[in-house]
């Protein structure tokens, strides 16, 4: 449909009647320029109200729809008509006039109420006369379905939110835009007719009817399995892309976290092993001491005794005269030594002999045993003890102590390392990383399930041709046996053929659409968007839009900045319209407000190329229609208008003026 012109009367800020022509042909762009609050949004709402009786670009209800200045000119209880009239051309080149009007009654100086619901009237010019369309709502549904409204009428603000929509709604809208819904309807109708003919045929030939129904069911199962297999494969591809994205999102931090956890676990294992070793060494150390305690404690004493015995033995060999207590006392009494030396009291020699007598008396045995016998017995015992003293005991004991110190130091080192790693781990967003890993695991499980399902589906698809062939043979044999093949049977076969063909065309078109969209949107987006961050735009089988970045990570279309999202949505919408089966004008309110100057310039170059042969109506602010954007797009502009406000505040109206 081509929009030739529109007339607005008493609709919101427009009193009018105001008429505006729209550009078409080679210069297919219409510019409507205005400041904020000049009525740009009301202008686009005039379109949607005329076609669908809705104003989706405002939050208010119908209050205020009737122009206040028009109400000021009439008395209370008088009526004022609100009307929007559009002149269009359909795909056959016939002129269409679409009118929606609604009557309001003035209830006070500042208020009105609607007298009735709005009325839709459509006229078609058949060359000689205008013919009124009997069912105007059906005409709109067939030619300009409301489900497509947001694909050819939208605001810059709505563009930034487009990719947050329910994907099923997007898919449904795209299918309508490309008229795939017509093929789905054909399939539905074919099934209904097949059921109808099958019920009739069952009464005539139950056996043949049963075979045909079984064949029809197997053919349908085969088609469904083919679709499911393709969808599963596409789903697996999407999941693999999403998993890749999640790994990229985890990045080095996630890898560090996993490595840190692994290192901590290994260090704890090593620490436990060292503690076990330490316990063993400490037990060996304790055993070494306890087993040799008595020998160790007597060692020094016995060694001294042995030295004294050696001295006595040396004295014996040198034939020293042994000391006798009686002889020594006699010397002291005579005060003279056998050598003639004086032994007077208080002399050193006298004291020395006194001490010697005391020592000999102390070491004498009361039983009269000689000291020599006691010493001999002690020496015998000490020899046995010293013989059992551990070899290299001091060396072994020192070695055990040193090993204990080393193991304890190793344990301490491990503990310090573990604490350091735990500190590093605490500085990472572990919860977020764990959540991402959890999501990866879930997607990997789903891939495994889908792969297993695909194996079963692949095997099923191998058996369907065999089953179909067997049933065809049985049907042929039944027809031959009974000698019948009536018209109803042929109609059932025809319905089955329609289903097969419509399904095949539908599936091939659907694949072609999202693959073509991916390429077209990628090419245009990279042309408009100056940053090299984005490598590729991916549109999956459910028309979910993903962005592959230059580093290889995949992000949702909601991930880029507001300006980038705006450009992406704009290119996606334009691509949809350029490839669709509907000829629709593209009506955009403030399309580039969030874009920088360079992006605006590129959009001005790309949009006319996108929309070649199709109309574009751009409602722009004064600041948008300027600079390189204006320079680049102006050569495609057929009409340009400016919105202006005339009259005093509260008593004026918005008018539309054409300018060069």
Q: What DSSP assignment string belongs to 246-260?
A: HHHHHHHHHHHHHHH
Angle at 501 between CA 483 and CA 238, to 5 degrees: 140
Question: Which two three-digit tokens encode residue 425?
Answer: 């781990």
Closest by CA position to 645, among listed 164, 34, 103: 34
pLDDT value at 391 more than 70: no
Cβ(594)–Cβ(566) under 8 Å? yes
**162-171, 379-388, 543-552, 567-576, range with the lowest pLDDT:** 379-388
pLDDT value at 63 more than 70: no
pLDDT confidence of residue 367: 41
pLDDT confidence of residue 244: 79
pLDDT confidence of residue 368: 43
Q: Which residues contact 42 (CB under 8 A, 6 or more apart)?
A: 11, 12, 13, 14, 58, 654
DSSP 342: B
CA distance linking residue 142 with residue 91, whole number of Å: 12
For the chain, what percentages of helix, strand and coil (3-state, to nearest 5) are there?
60, 15, 25
Q: Cα-atom radius of gyration of the chain, to the nearest Å?
A: 53
- What average pLDDT score do residues 277-296 get? 76
Across 11-46, b (16+ Cβ under 10 Å) vs e yields bbbbbbebebebbbeeebbbbbbbeeebbbbbbbbb
Highest mean pLDDT among 170-179, 454-463, 612-621: 454-463
pLDDT confidence of residue 95: 94
pLDDT confidence of residue 490: 77
pLDDT value at 98 more than 80: yes
- What average pLDDT score do residues 117-126 get? 93
Give the chain's length: 660
Question: Which two three-digit tokens encode residue 643?
Answer: 């919105």
- What average pLDDT score do residues 498-513 get? 79
pLDDT confidence of residue 106: 92
pLDDT confidence of residue 450: 92
Cβ(32)–Cβ(26) under 8 Å? no
Q: Got the DSSP string for 483-523? A: T---HHHHHHHHHHHHHHHHHHHHHHHHHHHHHHHHHHHHH
pLDDT confidence of residue 456: 93
Strand partners, 639: 30
Strand partners, 79: 105
From the CB of residue 55, how many other CB atoms can be counted at a distance below 10 Å?
21
pLDDT confidence of residue 119: 95
Highest mean pLDDT among 152-161, 428-437, 522-531: 428-437
- 342: phi then psi, degrees, rounded to nearest 5: -75, 140
pLDDT band per the 50, 70, 90 thresholds, residue 653: confident
Mean pLDDT, the chain, integer: 79
- What average pLDDT score do residues 571-600 get? 74
Residue that wins the pLDDT comparison between 111 and 267: 267
Strand pairing category for 637-646 and 29-33: parallel
Strand pairing category for 79-89 and 95-108: antiparallel
pLDDT in tens, 402-461: 888 888 999 999 888 888 888 877 777 777 777 888 888 999 999 999 999 999 999 999
- What average pLDDT score do residues 63-91 get? 90
Portion of the chain with pLDDT greater than 70, in percent: 80
Across 241-252, b (16+ Cβ under 10 Å) vs e yields bbbebbbebbee
pLDDT confidence of residue 190: 80
Residue that wins the pLDDT comparison between 23 and 597: 23
pLDDT value at 531 more than 80: no
pLDDT confidence of residue 365: 46
pLDDT confidence of residue 366: 44
pLDDT confidence of residue 341: 67
pLDDT value at 369 more than 50: no
pLDDT confidence of residue 18: 93
**Residue 394 burial (C-beta neighbours within 10 Å; 0-12, 13-18, 19+):** exposed
Portion of the chain with pLDDT greater than 90, in percent: 17
On whether the pTM is more than 0.75, the answer is: no
């Amino acid at each position: 449909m081509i929009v030739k012109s529109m007339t607005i009367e008493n609709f919101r800020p427009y009193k009018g009647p105001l008429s505006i022509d729209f550009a078409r042909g080679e210069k297919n762009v219409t510019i409507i320029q205005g400041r904020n609050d000049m009525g740009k949004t009301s202008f686009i709402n005039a379109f949607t109200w005329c076609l669908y009786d809705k104003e989706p670009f405002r939050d208010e209800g119908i209050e205020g729809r009737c122009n206040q200045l028009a109400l000021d000119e009439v008395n209370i209880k008088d009526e004022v008509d609100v009307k929007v009239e559009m002149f269009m051309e359909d795909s056959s080149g016939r002129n269409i006039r679409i009118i929606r009007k609604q009557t309001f009654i003035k209830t006070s100086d500042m208020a009105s109420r609607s007298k009735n619901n709005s009325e839709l009237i459509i006229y078609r010019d058949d060359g000689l006369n205008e013919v009124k369309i009997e069912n105007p709502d059906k005409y709109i549904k067939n030619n300009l379905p409301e489900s497509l409204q947001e694909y050819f009428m939208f605001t810059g603000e709505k563009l930034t939110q487009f990719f947050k929509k329910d994907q099923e709604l997007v898919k449904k809208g795209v299918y309508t835009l490309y008229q795939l819904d017509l093929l789905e309807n054909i399939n539905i109708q074919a099934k209904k007719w097949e059921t109808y003919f099958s019920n009739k045929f069952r009464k005539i030939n139950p056996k043949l009817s049963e075979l045909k129904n079984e064949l029809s069911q197997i053919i349908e199962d085969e088609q469904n399995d083919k679709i499911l297999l393709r969808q599963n494969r596409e789903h697996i591809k999407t999941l693999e892309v999403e998993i890749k994205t999640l790994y990229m999102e985890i990045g080095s931090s996630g890898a560090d976290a996993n490595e840190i956890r692994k290192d901590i676990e290994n260090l704890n294992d090593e620490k436990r092993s060292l503690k076990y070793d330490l316990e063993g060494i400490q037990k060996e150390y304790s055993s070494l001491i306890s087993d040799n305690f008595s020998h160790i404690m007597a060692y020094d004493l016995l060694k001294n005794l042995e030295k004294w015995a050696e001295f006595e033995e040396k004295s014996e060999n040198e034939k020293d005269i042994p000391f006798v207590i009686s002889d020594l006392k006699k010397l002291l009494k005579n005060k003279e030594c056998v050598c003639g030396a004086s032994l007077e009291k208080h002399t050193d020699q006298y004291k020395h002999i006194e001490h010697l007598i005391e020592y000999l008396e102390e070491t004498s045995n009361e039983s009269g045993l000689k000291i020599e016998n006691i010493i001999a017995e002690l020496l015998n015992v000490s020899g046995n003890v010293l013989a059992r003293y551990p070899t290299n005991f001091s060396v072994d004991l020192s070695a055990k102590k040193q090993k204990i110190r080393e193991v304890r130091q190793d344990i301490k080192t491990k503990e310090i390392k573990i604490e350091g790693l735990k500190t590093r781990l605490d500085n990472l967003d572990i919860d977020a990383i764990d959540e991402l890993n959890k999501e990866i695991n879930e997607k990997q499980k789903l891939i495994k399930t889908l792969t297993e399902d695909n194996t079963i589906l692949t095997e099923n698809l191998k058996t369907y041709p065999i089953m179909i062939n067997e049933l065809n043979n049985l049907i042929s044999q039944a027809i031959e046996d009974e000698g019948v093949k009536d018209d109803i049977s042929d109609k059932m076969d025809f319905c089955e053929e329609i289903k097969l063909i419509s399904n095949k065309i539908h599936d091939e078109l659907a694949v072609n659409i999202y693959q073509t969209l991916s390429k077209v949107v990628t090419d245009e987006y990279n042309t408009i968007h100056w940053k090299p961050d984005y490598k590729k735009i991916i549109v999956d089988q459910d028309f979910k839009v993903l962005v592959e970045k230059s580093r290889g990570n995949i992000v949702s279309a909601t991930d880029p900045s507001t300006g980038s999202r705006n450009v992406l949505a704009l290119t996606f919408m334009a691509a949809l319209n350029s490839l669709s089966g509907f000829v629709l004008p593209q009506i955009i309110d403030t399309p580039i407000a969030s874009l920088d100057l360079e992006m605006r310039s590129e959009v001005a170059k790309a949009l006319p190329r996108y929309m070649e042969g199709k109309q574009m109506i751009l409602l722009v602010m004064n600041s948008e229609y300027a600079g390189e954007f204006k320079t680049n797009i102006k050569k495609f502009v057929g009409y340009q208008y400016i919105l202006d406000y005339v009259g005093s505040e509260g008593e004026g109206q918005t008018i539309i003026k054409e300018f060069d």
